[in-house]
Structure 1
Amino acid sequence: MTIRHTNFRRATPNPAPAASTWRARGACRDDPDAMFPDGNKEGIAAAKEVCGPCPVRRQCLRDAIETRDTQWGIRAGLTPQERNAVVKEVARRRAKTEAVV
């Protein structure tokens, strides 16, 4: 872990740790198979519930967007279809921003 120094008395951990580090802190780390509920509504709801209070939910979503993981399981509290919509929206916004520049 790298340490970044701040104006505070204590050093704080780097806010963007390596992927393996953030995954190790995920709420799903003890039962990752639960994040692949095979399409049943109860399983999907249970997996989303695990993601709700997860401390690395943003990193998980960022990774899913960057890797275009839109096929399997629940990530960052989103189904593959929901992640696909997010990926498309991010791409649309990037294209719009690039067109303005």
Structure 2
Amino acid sequence: MTIVNADTRRSRSSAAPVSPDWKTRSVCRDELADDFYSTIKSRKERARALCVGCPVIVECLSNQRQSDDAIYRWGVGGGLDPEQRRALELEELLGNVPNLAMARVLVSPRWLWRLRQLKADCRSLEGMTAAFREDGLFVDEVTVRVAAWWSGGEGSRVARLAPGDKRTWRAQLQDDYADVVVALHELGARRVDIAAYLGIPGANGAKGVAAVLKAAAAGGLELAA
């Protein structure tokens, strides 16, 4: 589902040309929009389930992202919620452009079981990507991340801690992700968007990002205002 806002439409490097009649083939065309704009988790999941089986999910996502406002975003569109679309924008800011056609393959009946298996077994997107490549699929991390989102997973950039690793998530951010936090900050990304990129959106995520930036500044690293 999309919100058309022509005044805020921007081009996307990964956006494919969208046929003007694609909406006539969408599975949600006869559905009530409430689920797509609900903040209730079960209703959002119901909306996402429709998206995953939709033949025009790629076109829908491209259309939705062209319509998203730079700050305010609403609803599930193209199988992704607003925070995931924020994260995808920062992925592209770093040069990570997903292959949406391949992501669609990963959530097809042939590969969905493998995707779910790897989400359970691997602690990181890097691990999932390496496993898919061993299976013979040429994929990158951001493409796997989109597929994980489409299948209902979190697709976090922050890896699950190894058994025995007792660090807090804030300590993990400082230890393992300070470089990318600072890089995104230098590129002009807001703290809330960096938190979405990492996969820890909301107030707590933004506070964690702020703490990393504060520590970086205290360590003598010059940061943009």
1:67 equivalenced with 2:40 (yes/no): no
Structure 1 residue 93: Cα displacement: 1.3
Cα shift readout 1:45-95 (whole Å, capped 9, x = no counterpart): 10010101101000111122233356111111111101111122123318x
TM-score relative to the length of structure 1:
0.65
1:13-92 superposed matches below 5 A: 16-18=18-20, 21-33=21-33, 34-37=35-38, 39-68=39-68, 71-92=73-94
Q: Would the aligned equivalents of 1:61 and 1:76 in 2 still touch at CA under 8 Å?
A: yes
**Relative to total residues, which structure has the larger helix share, 1 or 2?**
2
Structure 1 residue 43: Cα displacement: 0.4
Question: Which of these two proteins has the greater Rg computed from alpha carbons?
Answer: 2
Separation in 1 of the partners of 2:65 and 2:95?
13
Separation in 1 of the partners of 2:94 and 2:23?
28
Unaligned 5+ residue runs, structure 1?
Answer: 1-14, 95-101
Separation in 1 of the partners of 2:74 and 2:32?
12
Q: Would the aligned equivalents of 2:75 and 2:82 in 1 still touch at CA under 8 Å?
A: yes
Is the deviation greater in 50-59 or in 82-91? 82-91
Q: Would the aligned equivalents of 1:65 and 1:86 in 2 still touch at CA under 8 Å?
A: no
Which stretches of structure 1, 4 residues or longer, exceed 4 Å deviation after superposition? none
Cα shift readout 1:8-51 (whole Å, capped 9, x = no counterpart): xxxxxxx8421xx11121111111413112x1111011001010
Distance 1:16 1:75, change over 3 A: closer
Q: Would the aligned equivalents of 1:57 and 1:76 in 2 still touch at CA under 8 Å?
A: yes
Q: Name the amino acid aligned to 1:93.
A: G
Q: Name the amino acid aligned to 2:29.
A: R
TM-score relative to the length of structure 2:
0.31
